[in-house]
Structure 1
Amino acid sequence: MTLSMYQASVPVFIRMLGNLRLLLEKGAAYAEARKFDGTALPDSRLFPDMFPLSRQVQIATDNAKGCAARLAGIEPPKFEDSERTIPELIGRIDKTLTFLQTLQPSQIDGSEERPITLQLRSGALNFDGRAYLLHFALPNFYFHVTTAYNLLRHNGVEIGKPDFLGRS
């Protein structure tokens, strides 16, 4: 049995964004119980020169919707990066999940050799679909989801590896 491009992308993004949503819900409950300011967790960082939790979630959702859209050969939806609270970040995840759920396997399967070009500040990066998914999009997605987890955990939210991985 082979693993299709769709199976290796959209269901992975949906599962992990669902897990991230649950992590944020636990963070919101933790902050509410301790009477934190609504932006305390979203503004948290592990070090002054890194992006805060809010940006980690924004980038994770951008990676998921951008990758899926590019593999499908369609324009990725654009979201404003204006979320400042956990409920707003959860809303962003929900919008991303809604988009991902519209994609069909037939739109993504067969995209292994589709040319993908990303315009970054440092210049253009060129990939075929397989390399883009496996060597760029998925590692970046997991980096930002993991960093969001670490920021919540560092701030005392009682979460663990089962929360990150989710339940099957």
Structure 2
Amino acid sequence: MTISMYQAAIPVSLHALNNLIGILEKGATYADTKKIEPSVLLNSRLYPDMFPLSRQVQIACDIVNRGAARLAGTEAPQFEDNETTFEQLIERIQKTVSHLNTFQPEQIDGSQERTITLQIRDNTLSFQGMQFLLYFVLPNLYFHVTTAYDILRHCGVELGKRDFLGQI
């Protein structure tokens, strides 16, 4: 059995994002139960030079929105990065899920050799579609979802591996 670019990109991303919603919901409940101002959790970092929880969620959304769009040869939606509550971050993820659900397999399948060029700061990166998905998009998605999970866990939210992995 072979796996298609669509199968490797869209369902995997949807699964991770839906699990992230559950993780954030637990964070919101924890803040409410423990009488912690939610902004304390949303602005928490694992280390001073790392992005806070809110930015981790924004980047996770952006990486898959832009990644899927680049693979399909379409434009990705742009978000303002102005979320300040758990509810707003969850809404952003839901918008990302909605965007990913618009893609059909035929839009992404066959993109494994498409040249994708990115400008990141002063660097220009060039990938073929398969490399882009497997070595850039998915690792970035997992890094930022994991970091969001880790921040909340570090703050005391009762999370476990099942929250990260979700229903399989």
Q: What is the TM-score when the length of structure 2 is the normalising length?
A: 0.98
How many Å apart are 1:64 and its aligned residue?
A: 1.0
Find out whether 1:87 has 2:87 as its counterpart.
yes
Tell me how many residue pairs correspond in the alignment: 168
2:40 pairs with 1:36: no
Say whether residues 1:158 and 2:162 are aligned partners: no
Give CA-to-partner distance per residue, 1:68-115, whole Å, 9 cap, x none.
111011011101100111111101000000100011001000000011
Aligned-residue offset at 1:119: 1.0
1:11 and 1:122 map into 2 onto residues whose CA distance is: 32
Which residue pairs with 2:167 in the alignment?
167
Instruction: Supply the AA of the counterpart residue of 1:108.
Output: I
Q: Paired residue for 2:65?
A: 65
* Letter paired with 2:110: G
Tell me the C-alpha RMSD between the 2 structures.
0.7
Percent of aligned pairs sharing the same letter: 61
Offset, 1:38: 2.5
Higher-helix-fraction structure: 2
Whether 1:78 aligns to 2:78 is yes
* Correspondence for 1:140: 140
Structure 1 equivalent of residue 122 of structure 2: 122
Give the match for residue 26 of structure 2. Answer: 26
Large movers: runs of 4+ above 4 Å = none
> Secondary structure, in 3 states, of the residue corresponding to 2:117?
strand
- Tell me the CA shift for residue 122 of structure 1: 2.4
TM-score after normalising by structure 1: 0.98
1:11 is matched with: 11
